[in-house]
A and B are shown apart, each in its own frame.
Chain A
Amino acid sequence: MHVVVCIKQVPDTTEVRIDPKTNTLVRAGVPSIMNPYDIHAVEEAVRIKEQVGGKVTVITMGPPAAVQVLKEAVSLGADETVLVTDRVFAASDTFATSYVLASTIQKIAGSEPVDLIFAGKQAIDGDTAQTGPGIAQRMNLPLLTYVEKVRSIDVENKKIVVERRLEGSKQIVESTLPALLTVEKEINDVRYATLPNLIKAATHNPKAWDHTVIEADRTKVGLKGSPTRVGRSFVQQLTNEPGEIIEGTPQEAVVSLVDKLFAEGHLVADR
């Protein structure tokens, strides 16, 4: 079983502030971490390897500093890692990123067939939840999002059964392999790294691939390959103004509330 996990290095959003003037994230001095959902994806891949045997390859697209999260993945039990890094990738949106990652996985599969692909449910810096599905679409693979449990894997018949989280319920799905799964945090508890894995991580050197290695079309990456345009970003101001309490019987209160809503333009009469 060869499992590939796509991870991302993100700013620790619990420590990010917003610049009140430009309405953009202040990233300076904010520590970089592995996207929290991705940690669970790596853990699940390692658990599957432990259960059925095989190998875990972890990939990320990012700047050279992203080797840090790949090393962390090794400390969690990953075997091999690839950093896809190239100036031409800068400013890629989820559309272009999924192209880069899909090309990378195809390159890996060229020498060693891939049976299963993991990604986090979303990245905490953009919260789009688009990259994983984008990769599945590009590779024409079954997509299982919001997975909170892998029930069983049948290596011989190439089948997987998972539980997907839906609002207020769950869905049990069987799929053929290879497939792409995006995971919730509930899928597992991440175990502490063992000492041998920590030592391995400390000396680990990820492979670094640029766009030529993954045979990516330059026009499909970076700003050129990214259809997303940010129109405007603004900060939702939360005010602390005290609310108004409307007195009277329920009937009276409703009438006076509706009047107020009309008066302030929140409700408009339909003539």
Chain B
Amino acid sequence: MLKSDVIVIGGGFAGLMAAAVSAKRGKKVTLLTYGSGSFPLNSGLIDIMAKPVSGAIAATPLQGISELTEKHPYQVIGADVLKEAVAFFMGLCEEENYPYQGSLDKHQWVVTALGTMKPSCLVPKTMIGNYCFKQQDIVLVGFNGLKDHYSNVMEENLKNVLENGKNYEQVIIYPDIEEGRDLTALDIARWVSTTEGYAACLQQLRTVVKPGSVVILPQVLGVKPDYAVWEQLRKDLQCDVMESTGLPPSANGLRLRSLLLHYLKKHNVTIIENCQVIGSHIQDKVCISVKAKAVARERIYQAEQFILATGGFYGGGLRMDHFPEIKEPIFNIPVHFAGDPEDWANEELFSQQKQPFALVGINTDAQMHPLDGQGNCFLTNVHVVGRNLSGYDFCFEQSGNGVALVSAYQAAMSV
């Protein structure tokens, strides 16, 4: 049987980044995964840190990190690694001709489907919303038949967020897609990617949009990780053009996924899809192999090192079938919630406090080795990354893909 240097389990952002960094370091990497993780949900934005402790937004992402407690993954890993990880990611996107914009020194602001502005850190060019602050005329574009996009709501809330006195206009574009069917942004993105679709879209926009405006659309500017449609539309309209966040499926999340998969293939990573890892063989704190199920048959995969990127409670990396028993199903890494049952969740879904249940996960050392209840290394050749980790609340902090990126980078540098 072929033995890899590194096996990565899980194909979300953390898994793909861990595979990318390992492969770039010349390792022989196998990626075992099923599904596309949270890519279709998360807009492909790399949030790093907006709200470290209180509800107040930190001056910069980097400043925010310095305010965190020592249990937080960023503190466990350290700010220097964080900078390297960001540089690696930015370089990778550049190399793939889909450069992201942003740095640890400044928040980037993205328009949301609700018309609020969301702080993020590394952002695709199509989603940079900062232009809204400057320009006077704002055009909100909706598509006939597109659920989950409400220009009226966006206008109502943008008016509260942006300076007074701007002009707002709502435009509805009629895509030439079968009538009466539910459309997602992805359907429209496919339509806009065609020559006829683009031409029809442009023609309808031209009749209303003045040059010099800001044009805000749902994520419909193409399905591939390139800026072709966006650049063309900016040029044709002579406007700042941007995409907002939205409800799933997110075109930009999927663009980032294709970009990373392309990079992995280029670096000879073996990708096994539809492959669910169901167990492991462990000897003296060392993982020898994992067992995986693909369609009907089971297979054993061996490697020197393993990276666990199975995505916490959402991805299936952690499970809680009954309160308070938490299970990590592949390696049986211990995870506990020590508090009182009534302290498992705050009363408010969104409040000025982190959610206790969101902070629960696997504890690690600085090389991302999982720790047992006493703080000792539980497995010496396994590394844990992404949403499986304890000590952070991706939602409160706005740090989800940031923690995934940094922990994946650190794990891959440690294998």
Do A and B make up one complex? no
Spell out B's residues near A (CB within 8 Å).
Answer: none
